[in-house]
């Protein structure tokens, strides 16, 4: 399947399923609208899945890992070797995302999109490695246009493989030391905002570190001149392999009527690439939470997404997505399992 095939396969939401879900919500034993955004969540998921009473039984969080040449510029508080170390932590079930996914009843799929180390084979690791990390975007393109497309399609392949095992909602997760820098560059390129409005502390930079990071992002944008009207150009010039994989996974989910729970800053950059490539993917997206990273609100505004939670999270890994998936499942269960006024023999509104 080509990238264009993938983009063209994304259907509009099913209006009939949404109307049926809305009608049922209005008949449930509660004042109309009293469950607020939980009602909205279930109605949109009905439209996404084309099911008036959707069930989210099979929950998957893809944690895509990749490294970044721009770490050579000193933009991260952690060394690059943490990326493969954390991949092993995911595989061993010891990271925050493993705990929160278990809590949400979701399975974690760990993907090597471009870790800068040769990882030994592991039954839980999906190998989609494009290269040993991206090039330094402060000196030239992070990857070629061909690599960007290859990474998008690899991410889509991961999601298609999970569909065969059962996939009712997708959560996006990431791992890659330095990846808030390309994410900020993507956001600045697409929105046209100054990097100073978007660049944050990442893994814990001090004020001087943040200022340096802003200058690195400005340099990357000046050197590469990414075209904001061409999301593939932006991705190739200032993106990352794991960001590309997540964007491709989002497109594949949308093409198969699967809702997507977008995690934080890095996942939202991936969502911007996906929507830049395929505006039809936008209604399939839910924002799990408002990240503590400075520019996240600007990115969410561009996407038109209202985050479900605001917990000062800034971890990534899909940690917020796991919590968002729990809310989405709760919303669908309310729609499906609550009694209507007629079923419960409860008097309705006069």
Which residues have a catalytic role annotated? 317
Token pair for residue 47? Answer: 């439209």
* In the block, residue with structure tokens 């934080």: 264
Whole-angstrom distance, CA of residue 340 vs CA of residue 152: 44
DSSP string, 80-137: TTHHHHHHHHHHTT-SHHHHHHHHHTEEEEEEEEE-SS-PPP-TTEEE---SSS---T
Please calculate the CA angle 342-53-60 and round it to the nearest 5 degrees: 145
143 phi-psi bin (left φ>0, alpha ψ -120 to 50, beta other)? beta
* In the block, residue with structure tokens 């309705």: 348
Phi, psi of 45 (to 5 degrees): -65, -35
Please calculate the CA angle 10-319-240 and round it to the nearest 5 degrees: 60
């Amino acid at each position: 399947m080509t990238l264009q095939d993938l983009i063209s396969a994304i259907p509009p939401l099913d209006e009939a399923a949404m109307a049926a879900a809305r009608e049922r919500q209005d008949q449930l034993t509660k004042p109309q609208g009293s469950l607020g955004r939980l009602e909205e969540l279930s109605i949109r998921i009905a439209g996404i899945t084309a099911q008036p009473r959707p069930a989210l039984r099979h929950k998957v969080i893809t944690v895509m890992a990749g490294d970044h040449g721009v770490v050579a510029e000193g933009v991260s508080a952690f060394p690059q070797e943490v990326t493969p170390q954390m991949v092993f932590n995911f595989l061993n079930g010891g990271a925050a995302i493993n705990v929160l996914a278990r809590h949400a009843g979701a399975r974690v799929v760990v993907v090597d999109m471009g870790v800068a180390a040769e990882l030994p084979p592991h039954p839980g690791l999906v190998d989609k490695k494009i290269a040993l990390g991206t090039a330094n975007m402060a000196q030239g393109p992070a990857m070629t246009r061909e690599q960007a497309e290859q990474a998008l399609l690899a991410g889509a392949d991961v999601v298609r493989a999970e569909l065969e095992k059962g996939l009712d909602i997708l959560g996006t997760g990431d791992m890659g030391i330095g990846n808030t820098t390309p994410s900020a560059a993507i956001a600045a390129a697409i929105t046209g905002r100054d990097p100073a409005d978007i660049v944050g502390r990442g893994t814990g930079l001090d004020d001087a570190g943040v200022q340096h990071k802003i200058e690195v992002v400005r340099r990357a944008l000046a050197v590469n001149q990414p075209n904001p009207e061409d999301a593939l150009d932006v991705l190739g010039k200032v993106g990352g392999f794991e960001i590309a994989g997540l964007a491709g996974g989002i497109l594949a989910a949308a093409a198969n009527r699967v809702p997507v729970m977008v995690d934080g800053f890095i996942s939202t950059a991936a969502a911007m690439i996906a929507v830049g490539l395929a505006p039809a993917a936008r209604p399939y997206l839910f924002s799990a939470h408002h990240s503590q990273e400075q520019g996240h609100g600007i990115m969410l505004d561009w996407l038109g997404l209202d985050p479900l939670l605001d917990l000062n999270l800034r971890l990534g890994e899909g940690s917020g997505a796991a919590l968002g998936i729990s809310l989405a499942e709760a919303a669908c269960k309310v729609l499906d399992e609550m009694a209507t006024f007629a079923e419960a023999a409860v008097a309705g509104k006069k």
